Structure 1
Amino acid sequence: MAKKCSLLMLAFVLYLIHCRSTIAQVQNNISAIDLEALHQIKNTLIDIRTTTSLHFFSSWDFDSGDPCLSFAGVTCSSSEQPRRVESLVLGTGLSDSPGLAGTLSPFIANLTELSQLVLFAGIVTGTIPSQLGSLRKLRVLSLTNNHLTGTIPASIFALPDLHTVDFSHNYLSGTIPPTISASTQLKVLLLADNKISGQLPRGFPQQLLHLDFSQNNISSMLPPRMPASLRYLSASQNRMWGPLNCLESIPELVYLDLSMNNFSGGLPTSLFQPKLTSMLLQRNNLSGGLPPLSPYPYGPGSIIDLSHNFLTGEITGVLVGVESLFLNNNQLTGTVPKEYFGSLSAGKTKTLYLQHNYITGFQTAAGSSWPPWDSVAVCLSYNCMEVPVVVGKMACPSSIGEQISRPAYQCSAFHNRNTTSKEKEDYIN
C-alpha cells in the first residue's frame, strides 16, 4: 500500500513538472516584456460585473493560457520570435456589456510593437498615459465613451504612423495640443463631448479627412486655412465665433455641422455645391442672403438647416430639391419660388420649414394643388401671408396661442424699416 502511494505521489510530481514546463514553453512564445505589460494592464482594469454579460478578463489566465492564442483582445505577430503584441482591444464592445472600470496602465507603452489600442465603452477613469507617445508603430488609438480626465498628451501627435485618434465622450479638459499640426498621417480626429476649451490650434494636418470636436467649450475662430482634404467637419455646441470664409478652401466637404455657436457674417457661396449634402448652421448669428445660384441636384437624405439666424432677402432657388430644408426663424422676405412647390409635389422635398419669417407668398404651379399633408412636413406659420389651409399648422412645432400669420403691424414696420435702409444705401452709393 505504501509503495502504491509512493508511485501515485511520484506521478503527481511528474505531472506538475510537465505542466510547469508546458506553461513555461507556451509563455516563452511571447516576449517577457509584453507578458509583464499584460499583467500590469490586468492589474489596473477590472470587469464591471453583471449576470448577463460576458466578462472580458475571464480568458486572461496567466497560469495556463497562451496570451497570443487565448487572451481576448490580444493579437500577436505571427512570424517574429518571441511573439510581440500588435493589437490590444480592451472590452467586448457588445451592446449588453457594461465595459471595464479602473485606470489605464502606463505599462501599455512597453508593448512597443503595438499598432492598435482600443478601449471600448465603460467607466475607466484617470488620465491618458503620456507614455503612449513612445509607441512608434501606433496607427489607431481609440479610448471613447469612458470617464477619462486630464489633458490630451501632446506627444501622441508626433507618432509617425498615427492614423486615427478617438477620445470622444470622456471628460478631457485643456486645449487641443498645437503639436497636432505636425502630424503627417492623421486622417481621423474625434474629440466630441468632452470639456476641451480655449483656442483651436492655428492649423490642422493637411491630410485630415474627419474632424469632430463638437460639444466642448472651445471659444475660438476657425483656423484661417482648414485642410482641403476634409470631408466631415463638426464643431457644433461650442462657443465659436467669427466668419466662415475659411470654409471656401474645402472643396471635398460632404458633412458640415457648425450649429449652436456664435458664427457671424454671410454664407460662403462655395458651400452650395453638390457634394455638401448635410449643412447644419442653425442657431448662429449668420446674416446676409442666400446666393442667387441655380439649384444643384440635391438627392435623398440631403439636409440643410439655416434656421435661427439673421438671414435676409428673398429665398432664391439654390436649395430646390433638398429633402429636409429648414429656413425658419430668420428675416426672409418676398415670395417662395414655385420650384419649391414643384419639389414638394414630386416628393423630392419632404420637410420644408419657413415659419417665423416675413414671407409674403408661396408660388404654386398653375392648376396644381398642395400634396397631401401626411406626405410632407411644411410649416409656413407666422409670416406676412395667408397660410394655405392644407398645410396650416399641421407640421409646425407646437406653439400654444400663436397666430398662424404675423400681425399686420409687424409686417408693415419690418417692410418700412427695410425700405428706408435700402433707400439710404442707394443714396450713399
Structure 2
Amino acid sequence: MMTNSEQYYSFWSFGVFFFLSLCPSFVLEDPLSILDNWDYNDATPCLWNGVTCAPDMFRVISLVLPNSKLIGSIPEEIGFIQHLHTIDLSNNFLNGTLPVSLLNASERQVLSLSNNAISGELTESIGGLKSLKVLNLSVNAFVGNLPQKLIPSGFQFVEVLDLSSNLLNGALPDNFDGDSLKYLNFSSNKLSGLVSPQFAKKIPANAAIDLSFNSLTGEIPKSIALSNQKTEFFAGNKDLCGKPLKKLCTIPSTLSSPPNLTTNPPAIADIPKEINSTPLPEQKTVVGKV
C-alpha cells in the first residue's frame, strides 16, 4: 500500500503528465482563456477549469469543456487516463480524427464530442466502451460505414446514441442490442438498405428513433418501437414506406395483375344444383332394333 507521500508524488507526477500531454497538443487557440489556470506546477489538476476529481482527490474522473471555442485536436493520451468516465468537449472547433484510445475505456460512461469538425472513420473498436451510457458524435464529419458492431453484446447500457449529421454510409446494424435506449438518432447521414426486423427487435417501445434524411428503402418493419415514432423521424427517405409514414407500400406487380379470364362457359358439372330443387324425371333410352 502506498504511503501518503508516495501517493502525493504519484498524483503530482500524474498532474504534470496530464498537463504536458494535453496542453501542447490539445489546444491551438483558447480565445476565452478557459485553460489559463492549467499550470503543470500545481500539485493537482483537480482545480483546473473543466477537470473534476473523485472525492479521494487521487483520480481525475471528468473532463468537461463544452462551448469553450477551443481550437485544436484531441490527443491520444486523453484516452489513457484510467478512471476518466466523462468527456464532454461538445460545441467547440476541434478537428482531426477520433483517437482510438477514447474507444477502449472500460469505465467510460459519457463521450460527447458533438458540434465539432472531427473526421475519419468509426472503427469496430467502439464496442470496447462496455459501460457507456451517452455517446454523442453528432454534427461532425465522420465518414465510412456505420459499424455493424455498434452495440454488440455487453454494450447494452447506452441510453443516448446520436450520430446524426455526419457522412456515414452503409446499412443499419442487425442484432441491435439496445435494451436501455431512450434516444437514437442516425438522421442526416448516407445510410441505405432495408430497416430489418432484427434492428428494432430489442429497442424499447418508448424510445425515440430518428432515421430521417438517409437513403433507406423498403417497408418499415411492423415493430412497436418503430410504429410509435413521429412521421418526421422517417422523412427524407423517398423509397421508405409503411407505418408510421402515410406512404403505403405498393403491392408487387406480379401480385396486382388480375388472373387470366376465359370467355368459355363453365362446364355443366361445375354448376351447383339448387337446394331443395325438384329433380328432373328420368328419361328412358329406347334402343332400336337392328
- Above 0.5 in TM-score? yes
Contact 1:133 1:153 in 2 (8 A): yes
Shift of 1:423: 7.8
**2:94 corresponds to:** 148
Contact 2:208 2:229 in 1 (8 A): yes
Over the residues paired in the alignment, what is the CA RMSD in angstroms? 3.5
Distance 1:278 1:210, change over 3 A: farther
Q: 2:162 aligns with which of 194, 208, 212?
A: 212
Distance 1:167 1:66, change over 3 A: same
Shift of 1:118: 1.5
- Aligned mates of 1:287, 1:78 — CA distance in 2: 52
Q: 1:241 aligns with which of 192, 200, 204?
A: 192
Q: Which runs of 5+ in 2 are unaligned?
A: 1-7, 261-290
Instruction: Give 2:150's aligned amino acid.
Output: F
Moved more, 264-273 or 169-178: 264-273
- Aligned mates of 1:131, 1:285 — CA distance in 2: 44
Shift of 1:128: 1.4
Contact 1:60 1:67 in 2 (8 A): no
- Aligned mates of 2:213, 2:254 — CA distance in 1: 30
- Aligned mates of 2:71, 2:219 — CA distance in 1: 43
- Aligned mates of 1:126, 1:36 — CA distance in 2: 20
Contact 1:236 1:260 in 2 (8 A): yes
Q: Secondary structure at the match of 2:184?
A: strand
Show CA shifts across 1:2-47 (max 9, x none).
xxxxxxxxxxxxxxxxxxxxxxxxxx79932244346545667565
Contact 1:47 1:57 in 2 (8 A): yes
Name the % identity. Answer: 25
- Aligned mates of 2:53, 2:98 — CA distance in 1: 28
Contact 1:254 1:278 in 2 (8 A): no
Contact 2:30 2:71 in 1 (8 A): no
**1:125-164 matches, cutoff 5 A:** 125-164=71-110
Q: Which runs of 5+ in 1 are unaligned?
A: 1-27, 50-54, 85-112, 291-303, 314-330, 332-417
Q: Secondary structure at the match of 1:174?
A: strand
Instruction: Give 1:255's aligned amino acid.
Output: A
- Aligned mates of 2:76, 2:40 — CA distance in 1: 27
**1:265-284 matches, cutoff 5 A:** 265-271=218-224, 276=229, 280-284=233-237
**1:334-349 matches, cutoff 5 A:** none
Give the TM-score, by structure 1 length.
0.49
Show CA shifts across 1:82-119 (max 9, x none).
x53xxxxxxxxxxxxxxxxxxxxxxxxxxxx3211122
Higher relative contact order (CA 8 A, sep 6+): 2
- Aligned mates of 1:247, 1:61 — CA distance in 2: 48
Shift of 1:145: 1.2
Shift of 1:289: 4.0
Give the TM-score, by structure 2 length.
0.69
Contact 1:260 1:284 in 2 (8 A): yes
**1:254-273 matches, cutoff 5 A:** 254-271=207-224
Instruction: Give 2:144's aligned amino acid.
Output: G
Shift of 1:76: 4.2
Greater share of residues in helix:
1
Distance 1:273 1:61, change over 3 A: closer
Distance 1:115 1:264, change over 3 A: same
- Aligned mates of 1:281, 1:260 — CA distance in 2: 7
Instruction: Give 2:248's aligned amino acid.
Output: T
